[in-house]
């Protein structure tokens, strides 16, 4: 059996340089995301969300991005979950996309806020029926005695709501408003390309102005 310490891979698929990258990180992210989708990598919309609890212990989990624009990155979940509780106490988070087949990583940091009730309602009602019932059936992050609890809850709420379950009050969307992006492209000999975009203190996007991003190359 090969030692895990001996596992190696040479990254040689692409490069990332200042001349070929967008000055706006959102446009660079959109380009890479579309390439991940068109390349048919497994779950290109999967991202890791990292939060920090009041005891300063970090935790991560994988969720699915559901939207992105100049206002931020959006996903939906249970507000009573561990990540929901941690965001309530510390509204900062980090996201990471890892497109292994393309040898690319995107890291995003910023402040997180809940999306509007209307936006949460619109997305919830676009979901498949089983997923809407599941939002009621799963007391996310709580200890349960067995899978039978989830099955029984699904039957209960399915019978109660039939085809029209409303959005649970404990379920909805979050939006991370980025102030720091990093784009990593694997390169040969571990001399990887790594670009960081930092939101300039001079930016005043709240007034409708375009954000100003400082782009810098970091050593890998």
* Cβ(219)–Cβ(211) below 8 Å: no
Assign 97 to helix, strand or coil.
strand
Strands 67-69 and 72-78: antiparallel
Of 9, 2, 109, 105, which is closest to residue 50 (Cα–Cα)?
Answer: 109
Q: Is 132 a catalytic residue?
A: no
Q: Residue 193 burial by CB count (10 A; 0-12/13-18/19+): exposed, middle or buried?
A: buried
Q: CA 103, CA 179: separation in Å to the nearest integer?
A: 24
Strand runs labelled E in 65-205? 67-69, 72-78, 92-99, 104-114, 171-185, 193-199
Q: Select which of 190, 194, 196, 217 is catalytic.
A: 190
Helices and strands (DSSP H and E) totals, the chain: 5, 9
Q: Which residues are catalytic?
A: 190
């Amino acid at each position: 059996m090969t030692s895990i310490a001996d596992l190696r891979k040479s990254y040689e698929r692409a490069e990332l340089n200042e001349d070929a990258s967008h000055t706006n990180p959102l446009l660079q992210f959109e380009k890479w995301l579309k390439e991940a989708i068109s390349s048919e990598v497994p779950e290109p919309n999967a991202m890791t969300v990292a939060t920090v609890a009041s005891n300063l212990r970090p935790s991560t989990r994988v969720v699915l991005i559901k939207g992105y624009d100049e206002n931020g990155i959006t996903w939906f979940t249970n507000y009573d979950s561990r990540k929901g509780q941690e965001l309530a106490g510390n509204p900062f988070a980090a996201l990471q996309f890892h497109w292994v087949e393309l040898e690319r990583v995107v890291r995003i940091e910023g402040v997180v806020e809940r999306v509007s009730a209307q936006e949460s309602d619109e997305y919830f009602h676009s979901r498949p029926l089983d997923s809407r019932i599941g939002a009621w059936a799963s007391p996310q992050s709580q200890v349960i005695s067995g899978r039978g609890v989830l099955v029984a809850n699904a039957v209960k709420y399915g019978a109660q709501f039939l085809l029209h379950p409303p959005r649970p009050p404990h379920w909805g969307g979050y939006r991370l408003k980025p102030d720091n992006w990093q784009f990593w492209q694997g390169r040969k000999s571990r001399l990887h390309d790594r670009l960081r975009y930092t939101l300039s203190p001079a930016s005043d996007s709240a007034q409708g102005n375009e954000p100003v991003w400082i782009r810098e190359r970091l050593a890998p």
